[in-house]
Chain A
Amino acid sequence: MRMNALRAAALVVLAATVPLAVSALPPGDPARGEKIYGRCMACHSIDRDRTGPRHAGLFGRRAGSVPGFPYSAAMKKAGEGGLVWNEQTLDKFLQNPTKFVPGTRMGYAGVKDDQERADLIAYLKEATRQ
């Protein structure tokens, strides 16, 4: 368990601090991404907290930092460790949430397809602007 936490912290620091010169993802299409966002709608919404936190203002936000939302200890710790949501960190998290932030309450296997992830991130970038 301790190893998991250390590994998570290392991954988080790596993802948050190492600038990636070239995104591994193909260009995303927000229109396609909006449809993919439908998969998130059991738990998430752009403008209100639900089982998961609201997505408004997501880009540039520290993980685990929406005021009043009851995050898992793991997500709070990741935020305190420096995890900030951007294209690169979202790419890694959405690919495999429980691997990127072990202990997250987001018990979801992830969006495995690169193009789908790129589309979803492109949509989130537009829809969550405040």
Chain B
Amino acid sequence: MRDTPPTLTLPLKGGGEVHGKATKSPSPLKGEGGVGVTLGVLKAGTRTRFRSIIEEATMPQIFVPTFQLIARRAFLARSGKAAFSAAALALLAGNEALAAEAEKKGGATGTSDVTILNTALGAEQEAIAAYQVGAESGLLQKPVLDLAVTFQGQHKAHAELLASTVKKLGGKPVEAKKTADYHFPTDKLKSQADVLRFAAGLERGAVSAYLGALPLFKSRDLAKAAGSILGDEAMHWAVLRQALGEAPVPEAFVS
């Protein structure tokens, strides 16, 4: 029998209703109540109202099903963290000699792969600290809090990979600063939306930073590993945009 997506009617805070089409989740969550909401069918003008609601630090009800779905998936995938690291390390294993050789050669830019990796490591360490501040702020509500913790775990995996690669190439990994030394703008973080927007800005910057670094790697294997991290951070950015009521994937290209 063919399933017909039911229409959801959800009451909005402050009155009125929002109508959305419920969608069955893809196979990974089949049988787990995975139901999302196709935001594209929402009536015009509704997104603006979502934004005003999220500014009040409340999760708009329409996002809750979607976010529960994403958060559950994130938790299911958390065990993949170690697998990711192992896979990425495997990617580099055996190519270390080539990478080290490329490192010795330097190149026209004079900026070595180790330097690029260490710059990326510094940014990852800051992201880890930022998510910690967000998680401890008391402003994040479940399931957003769960997502933040998951994203932080993935940044930790990136940092571990970058640090170990720097070591393998004969460099010294930069050390993380104390959280206070990052001077995060905590005075401007008053709501869940503020934290999400701050995190989204970091993720968006990270995507551009990795994209800008890719052409500079002398080792193609390192460029591939950095591309893998880029993809992960682009997903973080998209999910955070979705949480803020913005188009999760606003353009066909990132820059």
Contact = CB atoms under 8 A, between A and B. Distances in A.
The reply to whether chain A is a binding partner of chain B is: yes
Interface residues of B, number: 30
A14 interface: no
B183 interface: yes
B109 interface: yes
Interface string B199-213: 001101111110011
A110 B212 contact: yes
Interface in B185-220: 185, 201-202, 204-209, 212-216
Interface residues of A, number: 27
Main secondary structure of the interface of A (DSSP, over half): loop
A40 B216 contact: no
A102 B206 contact: no
A108 B212 contact: yes
Contacts of A109: 212-216
Given A72-B115, A98-B216, A109-B215, A39 B123 contact: no
A74 interface: yes
B248 interface: no
A72 B119 CA distance: 11
B33 interface: no
A42 B209 contact: yes
Contacts of A98: 109-111, 216
B255 interface: yes
Contacts of A105: 111, 115, 118-119
Given A51-B119, A98-B110, A98-B111, A42 B202 contact: yes
Given A38-B205, A42-B202, A42-B205, A4 B123 contact: no
Given A42-B209, A98-B109, 6 more contacts: A1-B110, A39-B255, A43-B123, A51-B126, A107-B216, A108-B213
